[in-house]
Amino acid sequence: MITTFQAKNYGCLVDVTAQLTPIHAFIGPNDSGKSTLLHGMRTLVQLAGEAFELSAEGQWQPFEPFLRDPLSGMNGPPRSGPEQRLACVVEGAAYVFKVGSADWNEAFGAISVDGPYVATALRPFDRPSWVLRSAVPESPEHEAVIRQLAAARLVRFDPDALRAPSGLIPETSSVGFLDDRGRGLGGVYFAIRNRNDDAFATIVKDVRKHFPTVKGLRVKAVTSGEVALEAELTSGVHVGANRMSEGLLYYLAFAALRHIDPVSLLLVEEPENGLHPARIAEVVRVLRAIVEDTGTQVILATHSPLVVNELRPEEVSVVTRDPVTGTKVTRIHETPDFAERAKIYALGELWIAYANGDDERPLLSGTEP
Amino acid sequence: MIRVIVAGEGSNELGGFWVEAEFRAEAPEPGVIEALLRQVRRDGWQVVDALRWTKLPKLQVGIGKKGEEFNVQRAFHHARKRGCDVLVFSRDRDGIKFAHREAEIERAIEALSAVGGGPAVAGAVAIERLEAWVLAIAGVRRSEDLRRPEDHLADIGAPAKDTAAMVALVENRGLAAIPEDARSFLKWLARAREAMGAQAAPGDEAG
């Protein structure tokens, strides 16, 4: 699990550190950097995964990462410019990916590391190629660290993508969506039904509970190679995915997350979209169950106080952005006067009561709005 | 100078304080609550801010009746944080359907008193609406029995939406003619006197 995430010169993240919990939500104004934090985490985990992937021959693979050159805007090794860094602390160690010319010893910055760091890759500007530092795990401890960064999945479900028919997932392939927006939902449900009858039955039972007009679910072939979800209503009418309500589609997508191949990090943008307020609590319960069942860490970016109401104070951080210093992350329970405010407001209400949609100053400085 | 924060439904209760602080006049026009309070204690205090019930967030699914208790707790919290000495409020009952409001608000006031500290609290539920209190000021009996007291305001020269006319009526009539059947209003007045450190003048009310 990532306990600390740090980014420097990554998108709008000039120099930011975030403390995380097994399930954690970023809240804050538009354009404050919440999504960039999620994308930074995904990039870091992807880099870690790619760096230490085993080849077919059982050898650890080196990697050749590229970041966008901050000066030219082109993909490829930066020729100059500020140091870029993505780093995290996991249990027992830190993992740092760095691009720049600064001395390696400066790489950890504000992250304090008690255990061994695993690896970093850097490319000094005065060198023609990437230099890998400990690119291959050197010990079982290192491998244990890398397993915590095994894979990341980012979802920002979109109803059109969820409605689209999709191909079947081969028996031996991993089960997952085809993209961030949830394309492949039909194929995912086909795989869940074929591989885990109980899981499919549980989902149908929950759907019937939360959507009383729905009697059952099935995966229907729409072409010779494509399937789509179909709901059978209590009235006997069959409703294809193309005509399903957005709320039901979103719910089915979140419910599926619990039964597809687990990842170490699940990043969810705006889980509240399209959901009735009472269903939002159910989705957060699903996400919490994913944490508890699979050990997957779940990080959310949300604008919904109703999502925040379902979380504990230590699980929420406020993201703000200053034009000069960039994005800043503050844990909500560390804001001034929090204990007193939390006595009279539920967590999401507290946010709304003191938010101003700009710099969130009343919330962060303890002043009255 | 006693610093007072006022909480209420809208412009009739709060006067010029009804709008957001950024849009208020330098010296906002008084609302009915401020005008009533001026009858209780002439000077030595000022309204420094106001809260609208609808602006206090209540965003919990199924919160239902608990909202009233939260309203008072939250208004008290904001009053204390703004350094106020007295929180004064009224809350419309709005019909027998919302009779629970009275019990909820009384419970909240009692709980705040038990804890002690912070601003003094002077508040009560207006049955059925603040306009009934204005009618009582004019000596109208059984004002609490009127389902729509605002419909009767014109009879006493204060149209329903005319805050300035209602304030003027309060200023002109004072508290001398309040009938004893205006229970919710008299309860509020007693609390206001206590909170403002004021004594009832002989023959002030319950005419």
**Model pLDDT, residue B62:** 73
Asked if B24 is an interface residue toward chain A (Cβ–Cβ < 8 A), one would say no
Using CA coordinates, name the residue in chain B closest to A366: B81
Using CA coordinates, name the residue in chain A closest to B54: A353
Asked if A358 is an interface residue toward chain B (Cβ–Cβ < 8 A), one would say no
Residue B57: which of A278, A337, A352 has the nearest Cβ? A352
Residues 222-281 in A contacting B (C-alpha not used; CB under 8 Å): 277-278, 280-281
The Cα of A346 is separated from the nearest Cα of chain B by a number of Å equal to 8
What the block records as the tokens of A32 is: 């404050």
Residue A348: which of B59, B70, B77 has the nearest Cβ? B59
Q: Measured between alpha carbons, how far is A123 from A341 in angstroms, rounded to an integer?
A: 48
Residues 279-338 in A contacting B (C-alpha not used; CB under 8 Å): 280-281, 305-306, 309, 337
The model's pTM is 0.82
**Model pLDDT, residue B21:** 84
Residue B78: which of A281, A346, A368 has the nearest Cβ? A368
Quickly list DSSP for A106-136.
GTTTT---SS-B--EEE--TTSSS-EEES-S
Using CA coordinates, name the residue in chain B closest to A305: B59
Residue A75 half-sphere exposure, CB side, CA atoms within 13 Å?
3
Q: Do B57 and A281 touch (CB under 8 A)?
A: no
What the block records as the tokens of A157 is: 């479900």
The torsion region of residue A274 among left (phi > 0), alpha (psi -120 to 50) and beta comes to left
Is B123 within 8 Å of B88 (Cβ atoms)?
Answer: yes
Q: Do B59 and A309 touch (CB under 8 A)?
A: yes
Token pair 């400066």: residue: A106
Residue A368: which of B60, B62, B81 has the nearest Cβ? B81
Rg (CA), chain A: 22
Asked if B56 is an interface residue toward chain A (Cβ–Cβ < 8 A), one would say yes
pLDDT by residue (tens digit) across A91-137? 877 777 766 554 444 444 434 444 444 445 443 444 444 344 444 55
Q: Is A354 helix (H, G, I), strand (E, B) or coil?
A: helix
Asked if A84 is an interface residue toward chain B (Cβ–Cβ < 8 A), one would say no
Closest CA to B164 of B50, B51, B30: B30
CB contacts of B58 in chain A (<8 Å) are 349
**Model pLDDT, residue B65:** 66
pLDDT by residue (tens digit) across A205-239? 999 999 999 999 999 999 988 999 999 999 999 99
Q: Do B77 and A352 touch (CB under 8 A)?
A: no
Token pair 């009310």: residue: B205
Q: Measured between alpha carbons, how far is A61 from B39 in angstroms, rounded to an integer?
A: 84
Using CA coordinates, name the residue in chain A closest to B20: A369
Low-confidence residues in chain A, pLDDT < 50: 62-71, 75-79, 102-119, 121-135
Which of B48, B61, B72, B78 should one mutate to test binding to chain A, selecting the residue with the greatest count of A CBs within 10 A? B61
Q: Sign of the C-alpha dihedral, residues A124, A127, A128, A132? A: negative
**Model pLDDT, residue A6:** 93
**Model pLDDT, residue B134:** 97
Residue B205, C-beta contacts closer than 8 angstroms, at least 6 positions apart:
B175, B176, B177, B178, B186, B189
CB contacts of A352 in chain B (<8 Å) are 57, 59
Token pair 């010779």: residue: A224
Is A306 within 8 Å of A272 (Cβ atoms)?
Answer: yes
Residues 23-52 in A contacting B (C-alpha not used; CB under 8 Å): none
Residue B61: which of A306, A340, A353 has the nearest Cβ? A306
Low-confidence residues in chain B, pLDDT < 50: 207
CB contacts of A309 in chain B (<8 Å) are 59-60
Q: ∠A30-A32-A38 over CA atoms, to 5°? A: 100
Rg (CA), chain B: 16
Please report the ipTM that was assigned to this predicted complex.
0.74
Q: Do B82 and A368 touch (CB under 8 A)?
A: yes
Which of A27, A282, A345 should one mutate to test binding to chain B, selecting the residue with the greatest count of B CBs within 10 A? A345
Asked if B48 is an interface residue toward chain A (Cβ–Cβ < 8 A), one would say no
What the block records as the tokens of B184 is: 């919710």
**Model pLDDT, residue A119:** 43
- Bond prior to B9 in cis (omega within 30° of 0): no
Cα→Cα distances A204→A111, A293, B100, Å: 45, 19, 40
Q: Sign of the C-alpha dihedral, residues A175, A178, A179, A180? A: negative
Token pair 């990842």: residue: A263
- A76-110 burial by CB neighbour count: b if 16+ within 10 A, else e? ebbeeebbbbbbbbbeebbbbbbbbeeeeeebbbe
The Cα of A351 is separated from the nearest Cα of chain B by a number of Å equal to 10
Q: Measured between alpha carbons, how far is A322 from B66 in angstroms, rounded to an integer?
A: 38
pLDDT by residue (tens digit) across B83-117? 999 999 999 999 998 899 999 999 999 999 888 88
**Model pLDDT, residue A58:** 63
- Beta strand A297-301 with A238-240 is unpaired
Cα→Cα distances B181→B131, B147, B152, B172, Å: 15, 15, 17, 21
Residue A349: which of B58, B62, B81 has the nearest Cβ? B58
